[in-house]
Chain A
Amino acid sequence: MITNGKISVRQFTILVVIFTVGSAILYVPGLLAEEAKQDAWLAGIVGTGFGLLSAWPIKSLAERFPGQRLTEYSVVLLGKIAGPAVSIVYFLYFFMLSAMLLRDVGDFVTTQMMPETPIQAILIAFMFISIYAVRLGIEVIARAAEFFFPILIGLASILFILLVPKIDFVQLTPVLERGIGPAFKAAPPFIAIPFLQLSVFLMLFPLVSNAKRAGRVFMGGVLAAGMFLILFTTVCLLVLGAYLTSVESFPSYALAKQANIGEFIQRTEAVMAVIWFLSIFFKLSLCFYASARFYADTFKLSEIRASLFPMGLILVPLSTVIYPNAVYTTLIVKSAFFYFMPTGFLIPALLLVVARIRGLRTRTDDGRIA
């Protein structure tokens, strides 16, 4: 039966894709275009390449310790003090990340849809559904993701098809006007969001029913999502041009506004809003789950349910103060690479190195899940 808190490989893949697309879909085109201009798509390829590299330690860790969460093997690898310390770092990281994601939603809704509505109301409503989702468990979140995934794909395809008449390939030229340099300079924020956030899955790997395939599909999911983001960036460039892509606060939303077929099918930005809400909802729920899980594991709580409501209550005000203004947001996003580097790459890599040196791994002779 599929009722024991396990998620199928298919569901896991979908979660990886949705998480990776997550909040990135709204920001990435702008971030890339700002530095790389019309070569933003190249920057996207560079970013995805590095992103896959940074995801490698996570995958290797998960494959080395199947059925175990980071909180479990970090104690084995780093000892009784450093191990839990790492867990606390991760708890804080995902807690802050949840607050940032929540704020993203609030900012988007209050800038683009309903400026007169107090941001707190939006935050509370969105936090509420996230708490509800995590309460119901990862299994239910995974199923909901499975339910929404075809809808997401469908909506994105509709959007792309509607935009086809607006595509102008001249917008991409001249290619490599200032060499490959800008593409590399533009990539770090893209690597940070989403690829350096993938360590969330260190807490989800043990839940996959088929541990052997989990690592492979993880990388596959990340690659697919990266390609989707590159595609999206490219479409932004093709339709909006490099300049507008870089100045719009939410280029993808501006992109969706462009669709207009025969004066009849137009004003399709709601489609984009739905895509983004869905993907960020799942991202937030996974981050929230991870932070609650880290918290519960570190302090040896038997289950996470009890801590969800208090954590949610803290998250709402935290997300209102986490950025003082919109300028600060972009500043943080641009330097996120350095902030996210330790938790996203360095710590998993460190754990992996320690595990290699000490030759530690969990034995699973039959591919069984612990």
Chain B
Amino acid sequence: MNANATLAPSLRHNLDMLKNALGHSTDFIVRSFRIGDAPAFVSAALLYTEGLADSKIIDEFIMEPLMSGICRSADFGARLANHRDPLALLKDSVLTVNGLSVVPDAGVLLEAILSGDTAILIDGSDRALIAATKGVEHRSIAEPASQTVIRGPLEGFVESIRVNTALIRRKIKDPRLWLETIQIGTVTRTDVGIMYINGIADDSIVREVRQRIERIDIDGILESGYIEELIQDEKWSPFPTIFNSERPDAITAGLLEGRVAILVDGTPFVLLVPALFVQYFQSPEDYYHRWDVSSLIRMIRYMGFLIALVGPSVYIAVTTFHQEMIPTNLLINLASQREGVPFPAFIEALLMEVTFEILREAGIRMPRAVGSAISIVGTLVIGQAAVEAGIVSAAMVIVVSITAISSFVMPSYNMSISIRILRFPLMGLAASFGLFGIFIGLILLVLHLCSLKSFGAPYMTSIAPFYASNQKDTLFRLPRWGIAKRPRLLNRNNPTRGRNPPQT
């Protein structure tokens, strides 16, 4: 079937053509029936994809009216057969289902059927009636697994873009919340939604997002990661420049700050741009707890970030290059632990880090049931046996563990992956140049971070370039009456969040 084939007046011909186009796929259901009764009846067919269309709607609002009541009479059959526009007749006076349209084109018809709509073809008409019966089964709304909170909404996005947009709209009831949908993917034709609050989000960013998404030329989009990789600013960077979350409250907060959300059908992970470095250290929960607690926890996250990044490398540098920096008693203690360890500290650290990364990966991939087995092997083999066998020193195990734990405090998984990667080159630098090497590495890192941009906004915004007003919600979180302004991303037209003088 060529792409813009049109329908013929013959029902049999149409059905054959459509069945061939779908390769007689078994989930493509054709239900033939008659409207009217002998002698005057019209052959008709109902076409839908099983599983995508809601069978309840089809039964109650399409089949029921078509096969009962006046439709069972020969009079009606005759009237339909002789009607100038039989589809219009059905649409106007028989079918009770919502969202009906008439299409003449077989391509559009197929697309509709494959998105879950139901087509009604009748003999003698070269057009089809499409009824909106999308009713795909989706996972029920559950607590997001990747970003958990103690206090805060427990709902998470699901794989259906409709449900997801609804989850956001439920939080923002302002007409200025706008949604644009584009279909991306020549084969998958995935719905991609761009959501923003008109008047808060910067027009230039919205335009930029739209342009970049429209520029995508790919056969399929299976997850928002595809989009992220195709529209991000800097390809050669270990750092994520597009934020993602499966929490509606996080995305909503982003929209309120003037960011643009990109929703992709088929994944619960929604993208948010522009993303800033500090954003990866902010959990939605920060805003639900008291401000002082949140500020403290944020400091802990930054500390965790630092430890996870440079922990092992500082240990290597200090113990192999700068022993003078260790307090004497500690040095003697560490040295006695290292007695008999056959590897240089660098190799030792590398061994442990790699082992840990393998364990972590195994922990994610393996079936839940064997989880405890892995953790026993992990703790016993790495933790104890290796130390007792004298292969690694106990201090190294401590350092690696602290590093590992620290990398988990990051609220955002993709930032903690970046740190995991960056740890290794830093360890190498530490092993060759000591603290000087770490210094070189960190300078390179900061230069790189400062050169990054996310949709026009410098990645390090609010630290460098420094905005005093953004500091209220960067390293610390000030009380809500202190944060009256939205963070400054780019030029912005609507900076005020609200005025809440503190209660006196």
Contacts and interface: CB of A to CB of B under 8 A. Distances in A.
* Residue of B434, B443, B444, B466 with most chain A CB atoms under a 10 A cut-off: B443
B444 A132 contact: yes
A136 B451 CA distance: 7
A268 to B, nearest CB: 9
Interface string B433-445: 1111101100110
B440 A129 contact: yes
Given A109-B436, A125-B437, A274-B439, A146 B464 contact: yes
A277 interface: yes
Given A113-B321, A122-B433, A144-B447, A3 B456 contact: yes
* Residue of A117, A137, A143 with most chain B CB atoms under a 10 A cut-off: A143
A281 B444 CA distance: 11
A143 B453 CA distance: 12
Nearest to A277: B439
B448 to A, nearest CB: 8
Contact of B447 (A1, A8, A133, A266): A133
A146 B463 contact: yes
Interface size class of B (residues with CB under 8 A): 20 to 34
Contacts of A133: 443, 447
B434 A113 contact: yes
Interface string B441-463: 00110110111010010101001
A126 interface: yes
A267 B434 contact: no
A370 interface: no
Contacts of A267: 324-327
Contacts of A126: 440
Interface in A91-141: 109, 113-114, 117, 121-122, 125-126, 128-129, 132-133, 136-137, 140-141
A113 B451 contact: no
B491 interface: yes
Nearest to B328: A263
A148 B460 CA distance: 12
Interface in A1-20: 1-3, 8, 10-11
Interface in A142-165: 143-148
A1 B456 CA distance: 8
B426 to A, nearest CB: 13
Given A113-B434, A125-B433, A136-B451, A11 B440 contact: no
A2 B446 contact: no
A11 B446 contact: no
Contact of A140 (B435, B450, B463): B450
Contacts of A129: 440, 443-444, 447
A147 B278 CA distance: 13
B322 A140 contact: no
A270 interface: yes
Contacts of B463: 146-147
B175 interface: no
* Residue of A11, A136, A147, A278 with most chain B CB atoms under a 10 A cut-off: A147
Interface size class of A (residues with CB under 8 A): 35 or more
Given A122-B433, A129-B440, A144 B458 contact: no
B502 interface: no
A144 B439 contact: no
A327 to B, nearest CB: 25
Contacts of A277: 436, 439
Contacts of B456: 1, 3
Contacts of B327: 263-264, 266-267
Binding site secondary structure of chain A: helix
A273 B442 CA distance: 14
B29 interface: no
Given A114-B433, A122-B436, A147 B464 contact: yes
Contacts of B439: 273-274, 277
A140 B466 contact: no
B447 A140 contact: yes
Interface in A259-276: 263-264, 266-267, 270, 273-274
A10 B433 CA distance: 34
Contacts of B450: 136, 140, 143-144, 147
A77 to B, nearest CB: 34
B422 to A, nearest CB: 15
A269 to B, nearest CB: 8
Interface string A240-283: 00000000000000000000000110110010011001100100
B39 interface: no
A114 B317 CA distance: 12
Given A2-B458, A114-B434, A266-B327, A140 B451 contact: yes
A8 B465 contact: yes
Contact of B466 (A10, A264, A278): A10
Interface in A43-81: none
A278 B436 CA distance: 11
A28 to B, nearest CB: 22
A147 B460 contact: yes
* Residue of A144, A146, A274 with most chain B CB atoms under a 10 A cut-off: A144
Contacts of A113: 321-322, 434-436
A8 to B, nearest CB: 6
A300 to B, nearest CB: 27
B46 interface: no
B177 interface: no
Contact of A143 (B321, B435, B465, B490): B465
* Residue of A113, A114, A140, A146 with most chain B CB atoms under a 10 A cut-off: A140
B443 A281 contact: yes
Contacts of A144: 443, 446-447, 450, 464
B122 to A, nearest CB: 59
Contacts of B449: 147
Given A267-B325, A270-B322, A143 B436 contact: no
* Residue of B325, B327, B436 with most chain A CB atoms under a 10 A cut-off: B436
B438 to A, nearest CB: 10
B447 A125 contact: no
Nearest to A263: B327
Nearest to B491: A1
Nearest to B204: A1
Interface in B413-429: none
Contact of A2 (B434, B443, B465): B465
A187 to B, nearest CB: 32
A104 to B, nearest CB: 14
Nearest to A274: B439
B447 A270 contact: no
A121 B466 CA distance: 35
A132 B451 CA distance: 11
Contacts of B321: 113-114
Q: Which are the 10 A-B pairs with shortest beta-carbon distances?
A: A146-B464, A143-B450, A143-B464, A147-B464, A140-B451, A136-B451, A144-B450, A140-B450, A267-B325, A129-B443
Interface of B: 321-322, 324-327, 433-437, 439-440, 443-444, 446-447, 449-451, 453, 456, 458, 460, 463-466, 490-491
Given A10-B466, A143-B450, 9 more contacts: A3-B453, A121-B433, A122-B436, A126-B440, A129-B444, A136-B450, A136-B451, A143-B460, A147-B460
21 contacts: A1-B456, A1-B490, A11-B465, A113-B436, A114-B433, A114-B436, A122-B433, A125-B437, A126-B440, A129-B440, A129-B444, A129-B447, A143-B458, A143-B460, A145-B464, A146-B463, A147-B463, A263-B327, A264-B327, A267-B324, A270-B435
